[in-house]
Structure 1
């Protein structure tokens, strides 16, 4: 099969771009794979890259120029005999299949409900928001199939755009079971903890993300005073950390938090930690959740995350009812530690993650492609 994929950048540094890299890597050995991108950074053998720069600022022009560029490129792919083109979200308006990694209309509504009408109005007036909504509406109506990365995203697409449910196929995002593996624990635990001055007997919580505010870092920091002093937090991500460092000092927990910055080896940080905590307010899926589970550590996250659909509360992870409660975070972490569940819950988390390999995602995705090609 001859397949076209889009990704604004082609690397493993973000959730959507990692998704496309992982998928392309598994499609390329048996199929002709074309990538439409502005930056082809992680080279994949066999992939044919169509690299062309876009306008990066302001972000509204970034989104618009990327989608507009892809219109012409998709036409040329079809003229060249490509069988099916699969775009990501608001990256095109003329692909055969769109993979919805989020639903902008639902996200704006969600934050409006949580933060009030004034915030909702500000979001509605953002140029980027209006560009994304326009593209989102067009591609959802024009595409022949929609892939949703969680049941919650499927529900949002159907509810907000009136897309027939039978047009939408749920295929959960995958996890690289070799890269994220309990076998890494011993070495990573030694090296990462030594690097950041963490003791072998410390209980290490980890958090990873680009948007600290939406993903709830504030509430983890506010939870630390309610936990034993040997419980430390490692924050991985390149977002602005200054306000969170100030909050940590005000809460007298600055000496218990490591701001590690960006890492190209996030798997080592999961492997070096005991519990992954991710109290996100809105997360269409959350690859970090299944990556941590695959590493064999318990995850504490909210029901607002798409990946929470894969977790059985209290069995292979812990689910928070509220994304805004530091008290509930304390309660869930204490439950794991007081009941000596670190090891058993971690083992069960790994078993759950094993059901969602990228190989499985690739097979399911090919089934959807085949429906159009046949």
Structure 2
């Protein structure tokens, strides 16, 4: 623990966007010399981690002789850090990353007001904060998310029909995520496009299982159960992106939203609703994909159809998306910007 500068807690067992961010970011941060450890469940064993019993060692000074940074991303993680810093008097500075694009509750506002520094994941997110913040947009791990050298072979290994074209929608299955809009779009488009199928990848938590089952029944009654596939949650989601020819992000609301960026880094063009940071992820001239209004089925159908029907346009958009993601959204760039904030909180010269 003496060598640790930053603790990245993950106080949620189920996979979420925050968890995915930590999994991708921490190895890059450590490669840059930032000395970050994780704390909490739901993370792979390959990440550097501290056990809960080592929390008592946070009273001792680290190698830098001053303090450590606690990088919270959830309310419960901010609250726990305040207990450590303000009640137990541990030498900590607390950084909070906010991805929310909605008015915060009074409780959240109070927690955020007690932070030593705040990061917003997009310019939109920053407008919902009552305290000064630094915008640091998420980046993408281009080694993990990259085009498949042999898409057909990969499709076969994943149990899909090789050489078919696939549209995908990945993420938690629920109304907020717009899974029903994706399904309805595919039910409109697939009957006239026999060489296309669709993939819904993601988990429905217990309160949303009925929603998922209703979608499956709708697909079954339409006779499309063999072409609109519900494949569940997968740890190798990067491989599932590589099977796709088109990605649709149909969210009705989103904080940041990594899925379009993950698709773009895999050279897959995107149709995305104008929520979260999506308008900042896609290029402004529509060369990487198409931005549409949220909760608008007709707009989704009209945007997806020409990309599905024009192989050359779709391939070019995929190439543009890959180049755009690599040039503007590297995960190393995100880590470096966070490192500068850590250094300031640790009292180091940047």
The residue number in structure 2 matching 1:224 is 186
The residue number in structure 1 matching 2:287 is 315
TM-score normalised by L of structure 2? 0.81
The residue number in structure 2 matching 1:98 is 96
Instruction: Give a deviation string over 1:134-176, Cα, whole Å, max 9, x none.
Output: 652233101121111112211122xxxx22xxx2111111111
The residue number in structure 1 matching 2:243 is 272
Query: Does the 8 Å CA contact 1:174/1:361 hold for their aligned counterparts?
Result: yes
Query: Does the 8 Å CA contact 2:308/2:314 hold for their aligned counterparts?
Result: yes
Alpha-carbon distance change, 225 to 345 in structure 1, aligned in 2, over 3 angstroms: same
Between 144-153 and 341-350, the greater mean CA deviation after superposition: 144-153
Deviation at 1:101, TM superposition (A): 2.7
Higher relative contact order (CA 8 A, sep 6+): 2
Query: Does the 8 Å CA contact 2:249/2:271 hold for their aligned counterparts?
Result: yes
Instruction: Give a deviation string over 1:262-299, Cα, whole Å, max 9, x none.
Output: 11111111111100111101111111111110000101
The residue number in structure 1 matching 2:273 is 302
Is the counterpart of residue 359 in structure 1 residue 332 in structure 2? yes
Instruction: Give a deviation string over 1:308-350, Cα, whole Å, max 9, x none.
Output: 31212521111111x2222211111123244431111001101
Between 305-314 and 253-262, the greater mean CA deviation after superposition: 305-314
SS across alignment from 1:260: strand
The residue number in structure 2 matching 1:285 is 256
Deviation at 1:2, TM superposition (A): 1.4
The residue number in structure 2 matching 1:213 is 175
Alpha-carbon distance change, 367 to 213 in structure 1, aligned in 2, over 3 angstroms: same
CA distance in 2 between counterparts of 1:34 and 1:195 reads 33
Deviation at 1:78, TM superposition (A): 5.4
Alpha-carbon distance change, 218 to 309 in structure 1, aligned in 2, over 3 angstroms: same
Is the counterpart of residue 87 in structure 1 residue 68 in structure 2? no
Alpha-carbon distance change, 292 to 185 in structure 1, aligned in 2, over 3 angstroms: farther
1:158-177 equivalent positions in 2, closer than 5 A:
162-163=130-131, 167-177=132-142
Equivalent residue in structure 1 for 2:228, among 251, 257, 263: 257
CA distance in 2 between counterparts of 1:301 and 1:234 reads 16
The residue number in structure 1 matching 2:20 is 18
The residue number in structure 1 matching 2:40 is 37
Query: Does the 8 Å CA contact 1:34/1:50 hold for their aligned counterparts?
Result: no
Cα RMSD over matched residues? Answer: 2.5
TM-score normalised by L of structure 1? 0.76
5+ unaligned residues in a row in structure 2: which ranges?
Answer: 83-92
User: How many residues were matched structurally?
Assistant: 314
CA distance in 2 between counterparts of 1:80 and 1:5 reads 18
5+ unaligned residues in a row in structure 1: which ranges?
Answer: 53-71, 107-132
The residue number in structure 2 matching 1:77 is 58
Deviation at 1:178, TM superposition (A): 0.7
CA distance in 1 between counterparts of 2:143 and 2:26 reads 17
